[in-house]
Amino acid sequence: MKLKYAGIAVLGIALAALAVQKGDKQMTTNKLTPEEEYVIVYKGTEAPFSGKYLDNNEPGTYVCKRCGAPLYRSSDKFDGHCGWPSFDDEIAGAVKRVPDPDGSRTEIICANCGAHLGHVFTGEGLTDKDIRHCVNSISLVFVPAAKADANDPNSKPSTKAYFAGGCFWGVDYWLKSAAGVISVTAGYMGGTTKHPTYEQVCSGKTGHAETVEVIFDPNKTTYEDLAKLFFEIHDPTQRNRQGPDIGYQYRSAIFYADQQQKQIAERLIEQLKKKGLKVVTSVEPAKEFWPAEDYHQDYYGKNAGQPYCHIRTKHF
């Protein structure tokens, strides 16, 4: 792939090298080619209209080329008419914004490993969200929604799990701290209303449950381990409530992404029932997941405190 020299200042290269030396999340996971290193490590720019993902419209997830962390959903990709892939949203907590060494732009990097992605712009009015993540294709790997090639060392697809157990603040808090978890996003699932708001879900008329989407590394944890943790951080015997939070939106539910997840969830429920727990957790096929408003994301991380109705109780 032909790359153009992006006028990187010597200061920019020095800062990148210094970050590597200090270990500021710059640990290389995948081996990079010289062209990839030019962009990802030394903050270069690929030539416009040359990237492999510019016109890609398949459903799926874009992950970091260097570490495999999920960054963007295909549903947030749009034609920015700029020569590079454009997104008007990122997976919660996946992308970090830092001042660009040029003193005028805002750089975007992978929050997990610090890989350079591109730049972010606002005020262009291109979408309703009025934001454009301008990303180099060479910084990304696309993982199709239908399948992921496990033999591709550059792919390293993550696995998703969906859990609902009362207020999503507490579920987010516990699952985010679990080993092998890449990201947790609070949102809504199981209902019929498209793009539901928190107020709509709280009305109980949309059918949604407050749900978290967990993206995890299957090389570091398993779906079963996460499901066990889910059952231990909330009371699966409470129907349509969790502590003081009452309503259908607070129901206990597992939304399975495939038959293997369904079988694991049902097996764990049977184990709990044999222990005497009258589990009411429903096991339902995953539907479209709608991320919640920004102020719900990483609530306890941004607001000091701990969950008021999610206390871990060992069951397994």
User: Does any domain span residue 154?
Assistant: no
Q: What is the CA radius of gyration of the chain?
A: 21
Q: What is the mean pLDDT of residues 298-304?
A: 80
Q: How does pLDDT run across 34-57, given as a tens digit for each residue?
A: 999 999 999 999 999 999 999 999
Q: Could you tell me the pTM of the whole model?
A: 0.55
Report the distance separating Cα 110 and Cα 65, nearest Å: 10
pLDDT at residue 238 in the model: 94
Regarding whether 39 and 76 lie in a shared domain, the answer is: yes
Regarding whether 168 and 137 lie in a shared domain, the answer is: no
Listed range (71-75, 154-158, 269-273) with the worst mean pLDDT: 154-158
Regarding whether 192 and 138 lie in a shared domain, the answer is: no
Report the distance separating Cα 155 and Cα 136, nearest Å: 16
pLDDT at residue 265 in the model: 95
Cβ–Cβ under 8 Å, residues 255 and 287: yes
Pick from 129, 100, 78, 97: which is nearest to 291 by CA?
129
Regarding whether 169 and 98 lie in a shared domain, the answer is: no
Q: Tell which of 144, 175, 197 closes a domain.
A: 144
Q: What is the mean pLDDT of residues 229-246?
A: 94
Of the CA atoms within 13 Å of residue 93, those in its CB half-sphere come to 21
Query: Is residue 105 predicted with pLDDT exceeding 90?
Result: yes
Query: Is residue 66 predicted with pLDDT exceeding 60?
Result: yes
Regarding whether 166 and 114 lie in a shared domain, the answer is: no
User: Does any domain span residue 137?
Assistant: yes
- Ramachandran area for residue 224 (φ above 0: left; ψ -120 to 50: alpha; else beta): alpha
Query: Is residue 284 predicted with pLDDT exceeding 70?
Result: yes
Listed range (68-72, 143-147, 222-226, 240-244) with the worst mean pLDDT: 143-147
Query: Is residue 251 predicted with pLDDT exceeding 50?
Result: yes
Q: Report the CATH number that the domain containing residue 133 is assigned in CATH.
A: 2.170.150.20
105: which 2 tokens? 């732009």
Regarding whether 297 and 172 lie in a shared domain, the answer is: yes
Q: Tell which of 82, 109, 144 closes a domain.
A: 144
Regarding whether 163 and 298 lie in a shared domain, the answer is: yes
Report the distance separating Cα 208 and Cα 164, nearest Å: 10
Of the CA atoms within 13 Å of residue 207, those in its CB half-sphere come to 9
Regarding whether 167 and 132 lie in a shared domain, the answer is: no
pLDDT at residue 11 in the model: 33
Phi and psi at residue 18, to the nearest 5°: -65, -40
Q: What is the mean pLDDT of residues 85-108?
A: 90
User: Does any domain span residue 153?
Assistant: no
State which H helix or E strand residue 255 sits in.
Answer: strand 252-256
User: Does any domain span residue 311?
Assistant: no
Regarding whether 85 and 171 lie in a shared domain, the answer is: no
pLDDT at residue 29 in the model: 62
User: Does any domain span residue 183?
Assistant: yes
Q: What is the mean pLDDT of residues 243-267?
A: 92
At 77, the amino acid letter reads K
User: Does any domain span residue 134?
Assistant: yes
Report the distance separating Cα 31 and Cα 56, nearest Å: 24
pLDDT at residue 257 in the model: 86
Cβ–Cβ under 8 Å, residues 185 and 271: no
Cβ of 205: how many Cβ atoms within 10 Å? 14
Regarding whether 16 and 140 lie in a shared domain, the answer is: yes
E strand segments, the chain:
3-4, 45-46, 60-64, 70-73, 77-78, 86-87, 95-99, 106-110, 116-122, 131-135, 140-144, 159-165, 181-189, 209-216, 241-242, 245-246, 252-256, 282-285, 290-291
- 267 vs 27 pLDDT, higher one: 267
pLDDT at residue 280 in the model: 97
pLDDT at residue 64 in the model: 93
Q: How does pLDDT run across 178-220, given as a tens digit for each residue?
A: 998 888 999 999 999 999 999 999 998 999 999 999 988 887 8
pLDDT at residue 240 in the model: 95
Regarding whether 80 and 191 lie in a shared domain, the answer is: no
Query: Is residue 13 predicted with pLDDT exceeding 60?
Result: no
- 149 vs 13 pLDDT, higher one: 149
Cβ–Cβ under 8 Å, residues 189 and 288: yes
172: which 2 tokens? 């987010």
Q: Tell which of 144, 175, 201 closes a domain.
A: 144
SS3 33: coil
Q: Number of structural domains, the chain?
A: 2
Which residues are known catalytic residues?
134, 167
Cβ–Cβ under 8 Å, residues 138 and 54: no
- Residue 97 CB-density burial (10 A; 0-12 exposed, 13-18 middle, 19+ buried): middle
Q: Which domain holds residue 132?
A: 3-144
Q: What is the mean pLDDT of residues 220-249?
A: 94
Mean of the per-residue pLDDT values of the chain: 85
Regarding whether 75 and 198 lie in a shared domain, the answer is: no
User: Does any domain span residue 309?
Assistant: no
Listed range (87-96, 106-115, 198-207) with the worst mean pLDDT: 87-96
Query: Is residue 26 predicted with pLDDT exceeding 50?
Result: no
Q: Report the CATH number that the domain containing residue 239 is assigned in CATH.
A: 3.30.1060.10
Quick one: three-class SS letters along 111-168?
CCCCCEEEEEEECCCCCCCCEEEEECHHHEEEEECCCCCCCCCCCCCCEEEEEEECCH
Query: Is residue 135 predicted with pLDDT exceeding 80?
Result: yes
User: Does any domain span residue 12?
Assistant: yes
Residues in the chain: 316
